[in-house]
Amino acid sequence: MTDRPSRRSFIGSAGSLAAVLALPSVRSADVLQAPAIRRAPLAQPVAISSANSLAPVTRTVELVLQGTDTLDAAVEGVKIQELDPKDDSVGYGGLPNADGVVQLDCSCMHGPTRRAGAVGALEGIKTPSEVAMLVLKYTNHIMLVGEGAKRFALSYGFKDEELLTPESRQKWLVWRANRGPEDDWLQVPDKEPMVVRPTGTINLNVVSPSGDISSITTTSGLAWKLPGRVGDSAIVGAGQYTDNEIGAAGSTGRGESNIMVCGGYLTVDGMRRGLKPTDACLETLKRAVAMSPSRLIDEKGRPKFGLTFYAVNKRGEFGAASMYPGRFAVHDGRDARFVDCAYLYERTK
């Protein structure tokens, strides 16, 4: 037995070597410049909110496109309005209760971790959204209220501040002076306009390019409310709700009517059953009307109150619907704009 190669194997090996040597050389620069594989996003990034939230949806989408967590981004978005003294529906400058005290409500849900946090009747803290998120992150609870919520916030370094601005205080004074002719307050002159009883809130729902979802609702609540009243905004499943496999939804408007139908949850469940976001919102509105007592329904069968739902699904499809014509704010990853809501009833003069 010998180790010497045969003539045939030698020629074959030599031919293979020649073929290899004849191949063009590959430069390292060519390898580095090879085209990257582009993966399509799992979802269209979207933030949808109430009509007073064009800046919040813009900021929220900017952050999620940079890789920020959806709930962190949503909180940073709504904080813009919570800190704006000119927005009397949320946070600093919000309209007070009957005693002239601003009490704030907020709840949030984080889809990826299936956790929630909320605060109710919180006084002296400008950004209840941040406090609700701390309840979610650092406690085994979901909701803290009143003095306990305030002590919790102070323990995390928040400042106890006056939330009533001169403008909000003046509106409260006018309302108080016009409560009734038999009370001890002098009536405001007839030529001075009355202050309507507004219901102001921000609900914001966001989907990231990876398909993660979060929602948050923050408010100063119904103006001139009874002290201690907590509306739907602080209630998980009513003011907002998130299922990371389905979508998110929330509301603005008459909180008591929304609480009666668990509107945030019901809207998300509608999307789970296959409804588009707008259709799910409309279905929940119809349920709210059906659940309303007769004192809240006019002679034509229409509600005497306003209520709007906003929704987005996991693919980034969005929609909103209200009792009467209105609009909402949305950023779809390209630009921020106002969009008309679907609605159940035409307004009457």
Which of 226, 247, 235 has its CA nearest to residue 106?
Answer: 235
39 within some domain: no
Give pLDDT, residue 330.
98
Give pLDDT, residue 86.
94
Give pLDDT, residue 178.
79
CATH number of the CATH domain containing 168? 3.60.20.30
30 within some domain: no
Structural domain of 50: 46-343
Instruction: Quote the pTM value.
Output: 0.85
21 within some domain: no
160 within some domain: yes
207 within some domain: yes
Using alpha carbons only, give the angle 246, 249, 253 rounded to the nearest 5 degrees: 165
125 within some domain: yes
Q: How many CB atoms lie within 10 A of CB 169?
A: 16
| 201: three-class secondary structure by DSSP | strand
Question: Which residue's entry shows tokens 């290899």?
Answer: 20
Burial of 137-152, coded b for 16+ CB within 10 Å and e otherwise, reads eeeeebbbbeeebbeb
CA 134 – CA 222 distance, rounded (Å)? 25
What residues are labeled active site? 201
Give pLDDT, residue 36.
56
Count of domains for the chain: 1
CA 235 – CA 249 distance, rounded (Å)? 13
Contact of 208 with 43, CB cutoff 8 Å: yes
185 within some domain: yes
- Which stretches of the chain are assigned E, i.e. beta strand? 46-50, 104-110, 115-122, 143-145, 199-207, 213-222, 240-243, 247-253, 307-313, 318-322, 327-331, 336-340, 342-343
Question: Which residue's entry shows tokens 């405001």?
Answer: 188
Averaged pLDDT, groups of 10, the chain, 349 residues long: 44 46 46 54 90 95 98 98 96 96 98 98 98 98 98 98 96 84 54 54 97 98 95 98 98 97 98 98 98 95 96 97 97 96 90
Which of 79, 41, 43, 89 has its CA nearest to residue 59?
Answer: 79
208 within some domain: yes
Beta bridge partners of 312: 248, 318
CA 268 – CA 171 distance, rounded (Å)? 37
Give pLDDT, residue 28.
45
Give pLDDT, residue 220.
96
